[in-house]
A and B are shown apart, each in its own frame.
Chain A
Amino acid sequence: MRAPLALAAAVVVAPATAAADRREASLHAHAIGGLVTLGGPATDDTSSALALGVAARASYATSNRFQYDAQLAVLAGSADWDRGTFDTRGGTVTGPFSRGVQAARLDAGVTLRFGVALIPTVRVALGVQGVRYGAAEVDNGASTVTATGSDALGLHLIGSASAGLDYRVNRRLIVGAAAGASLAVPGVGEAWRSFDVTLHAAYYYYPRW
């Protein structure tokens, strides 16, 4: 997490050769795949899970160095934990469990862009994330039972950074890929770390306000 932020800070401070497109706005569609490490209710342990998702982003550049953007992303996956104790219809059960996880993140960020046709990018963002933890599916040794009352909601304050490469196909269309990481601010909600890769296409245009 520190490295991308340091890189982003260095780029902002240094006399950059960035070449974003001043006054251009864009609408992005992202496909996201990643690995999430998260904590959860009813356990102190963390678990890792593969997650897939989509995101939509809108941006506007006021400078040739960077563009501001806001993004709404949703992720879904299933995580396994080693041990947890839950109430079920048949009584209390302790054992390994899994639960579905869905997250929705709204963040605002700034994307530094370093090219014209081929565009390396660095994005940093800060936002809030709501996480829905599904009911725990507990393995009691003989079968899997659904814990009652185990579904829960969580809220994170989350920061993220990513680096990518965009390619401008024509004056309106840019496609690209990026790899990034996110981290929940400790002490606000459950633990959350993710590493993800995104593929995206964006429609760029000059808005008239």
Chain B
Amino acid sequence: MSLRRLAIIAMALGLAAAPAAAQQSGQARTILVDEGGSYEVLVHPDFVTILYLPDKVDKAIASDVTSYEVKAIGATSLAIRPLKAGAKPASLAVATASIKVSVVLRLVTNRDEAMTQVTFKRADVEAELERRITEQVKERTAALEARIAVMQQQMDAELPKLAEGLIAARMLKRREVRKLDAIERNDDNVVVETKDVLYLGDDAFVTFEIENRDKAPYRLAAVALRDGKLDHATAVRFASDAAETAGAGVIGVVRPGGRGQGVVVVRRAADVIGRKLTLEVSQPGGRGKVAVDRIVLR
């Protein structure tokens, strides 16, 4: 293809379609090309703009060589520099083995708008690359998921054994149940009573019961076992015969006229032995709070 034909092609491309602005913001842009196209590149006399092509540049023809200097940098790059401050827009036709593009060079006065690096990539190659990456990610993800599933199965099998072993070890250290008799109610006729404490190893499990004598369900949202302001409850479990399932932020529900049982776990119970603790239970937003005080673990 002669230089003249390239120039004609470039001009035709420039006329046929409005030049597409290069993608991305900032001074570096990447342009995906489907074999050919016209693209606007904003240049400034203070900067040299580098065009990166996907393969070796066969031809590069500028329509106005007096206003723009175009030089090859290596086999796949072109450097463009405006020579005049008031240069008019010009076109640069570039042909490589895989793409043919018309670059419309437009001078801008604002330095921030000028592009210093423009990378042309073949859209189909990029798409293929992305497809391969996606495929590989899928493969890797599937493999990882399979491994995780195997690990999960192993954990499901091992965790009960681990828990049983821990419980057995703790039972050998200490296992003792002691009665608790703290009880209190709120103004809504919800009564909370501590029943007993199970010492298992270093930990203590305080059991309590909520008797809801109100006409509305009691939705348990928070349980704390406080020594002053410090909450020693590390885990809480609660069960009742309520048909209503616990929603978000709710530990359990006690139906009107019903009862529910709970357990508060206290790690390192030795830290609170002999202290006067307060069991606090409440509904969402702190409503219906019941504070059972003077609970002493011995």
B interface, how many residues as a size bin? 10 to 19
Instruction: Please pick, from A19, A170, A206, the residue contacting B184 in the complex, using a CB distance under 8 A.
Output: A206
B185 touches A171 (CB 8 A): yes
Q: Residue A208 at the B interface, CB < 8 A?
A: yes
Contact partners of B213 in chain A: CB under 8 A = 19, 116
| Least distance between A60 CB and chain B CB atoms (Å) | 13
CA distance A180 to B267 in the complex (A): 55
A23 touches B183 (CB 8 A): yes
A19-B213, A116-B213 known; A208+B187 contact, CB < 8 A: no
CA distance A170 to B193 in the complex (A): 18
A171 touches B187 (CB 8 A): yes
Contact partners of B184 in chain A: CB under 8 A = 171, 206
CA distance A21 to B211 in the complex (A): 11
Contact partners of A170 in chain B: CB under 8 A = 187
Within 8 A of A (CB), among B172-207: 181-187, 189, 191, 193
Contact partners of B275 in chain A: CB under 8 A = none
Q: Residue A188 at the B interface, CB < 8 A?
A: no
Contact partners of B191 in chain A: CB under 8 A = 21
| Least distance between A175 CB and chain B CB atoms (Å) | 14
| 0 or 1 for each of A8-44: is its CB under 8 Å from B? (1 = yes) | 0000000000010101000000000000000000000
B189 touches A117 (CB 8 A): yes
CA distance A170 to B187 in the complex (A): 5
CA distance A23 to B182 in the complex (A): 10
B181 touches A208 (CB 8 A): yes
CA distance A19 to B189 in the complex (A): 11
Q: Residue B298 at the A interface, CB < 8 A?
A: no
| Least distance between A158 CB and chain B CB atoms (Å) | 35
Q: Residue A200 at the B interface, CB < 8 A?
A: no
Q: Residue A168 at the B interface, CB < 8 A?
A: yes
Nearest to B184 among chain A residues (CB) is A206
Instruction: Please pick, from A19, A21, A23, A171, the residue contacting B186 in the complex, using a CB distance under 8 A.
Output: A171
| Least distance between B28 CB and chain A CB atoms (Å) | 71
Q: Residue B294 at the A interface, CB < 8 A?
A: yes
CA distance A91 to B15 in the complex (A): 148
| 0 or 1 for each of A104-116: is its CB under 8 Å from B? (1 = yes) | 0000000000001
Interface residues of A (CB under 8 A from B): 19, 21, 23, 116-117, 168, 170-171, 206, 208
Which 7 A-B pairs rank lowest in CB-CB distance, beginning with the nearest?
A170-B187, A116-B213, A206-B183, A171-B185, A116-B189, A171-B187, A23-B183
Interface residues of B (CB under 8 A from A): 181-187, 189, 191, 193, 213-214, 294
A-B contact pairs, 13 of them (CB 8 A): A19-B213, A21-B185, A21-B191, A116-B189, A116-B213, A116-B214, A117-B189, A168-B189, A170-B187, A171-B186, A171-B189, A206-B185, A208-B181
